Amino acid sequence: MHTRALGQGLEVSAIGLGCMGMSQSYGPNPGDRQDMIGVLRAAVDRGVTFFDTAEVYGPYVNEELVGEALAPVRDQVVVATKFGWRIEDGTSVGLDSRPEQITKVADASLRRLRTDTIDLFYQHRVDPDVPVEDVAGAVAELVQAGKVRHFGLSEAAAATIRRAHAVHPVTAVQSEYSLWTRDPESEVLPTLAELGIGFVPFSPLGKGFLTGAVDTTTAFTEGDIRASIPRFDQDNLAANQALVDHVVTLARARNATPGQIALAWLLAQQPWIAPIPGTRRIERLEENAGSTQVALSADDMADLDATAARIGVHGDRYNPQHMRLVGK
């Protein structure tokens, strides 16, 4: 797999691996921890060098999983994790990006990840009670101490990115982005291009929708976050299905899968974009990695963009509570 450079020269595989689903959010968690360790190590064998986790995933257990799996190959990979939540009794109870909390989280994440340095440390959500300048300053101190290499932001607005970057260089911004979620295009992506910051799309396959594996007949299991997301209501799924149908048709014509088309579309947007699709299965790792070999023509790209614009998107990408936390 070829590599890409985010900001500040951070080199990562063109397709990374979002690890959250190995510990939460998509129905019953895998019963065998060793199976997930096997998937993580298989990703490295297939050229993936970019792994995304967070203290709040679990909480904590996802970092522990990633740390154990990647310990033997730690010098070959880039590990990103996140701070920004107050966690009490194993539950996230609100935002907390106070500088002292950031330092505390960094030390705990280092232990769980079994490493001396966090490659990329994101603020998970912008905290309205803490100026982002203070956040950037706290991370800058961690960089100076050698505990963190790079600073990132997640779901931040363009103005916030500029303020943070003025204090300490931002290496990457992570937000949801796909054919199904185009929000970053108007302000965030132009800002990143101007400032030389990389972009890391999460949910690049629309939480499974763009693979064609989800439709109005899908019954989400207990613990699957999609059951609470308006975009996955039956009426909205039915309205959005036309986009997936178009992707499926193009995939057949290009001898690819729908998921590969969706990822190839993202990769073609900018050379500093590195998506992080999540999976629990080795065959999906291989499929996602294969998207780097799918060449979409200018006509293909224009066709996908025109189709997405014509169909539009029905339903919000989060429930109202979570929507209040993005784009700040």
- Report the alpha-carbon distance of residue 239 to residue 295 in Å, rounded: 28
**Is 318 a catalytic site residue?**
no
When computed from its CA atoms, the radius of gyration of the chain, rounded to whole angstroms, is 19
* Alpha carbon distance 161, 169 (integer Å): 10
Per the residue annotation, which of 26, 57, 122, 177 is the catalytic one? Answer: 57
What does the alpha-carbon distance between residue 199 and residue 233 come to, in Å, rounded to a whole number?
29
Reduced to 3 states (helix: H, G, I; strand: E, B; else coil), residue 256 is coil
Can you tell me the distance from the alpha carbon of 164 to that of 167, in angstroms, rounded to the nearest whole number? Answer: 5
Measure the CA–CA gap between 149 and 94, rounded to whole angstroms: 26
Beta carbons of 292 and 1 less than 8 angstroms apart = yes
What is residue 175's three-state secondary structure? strand
**Active-site residue set:** 57
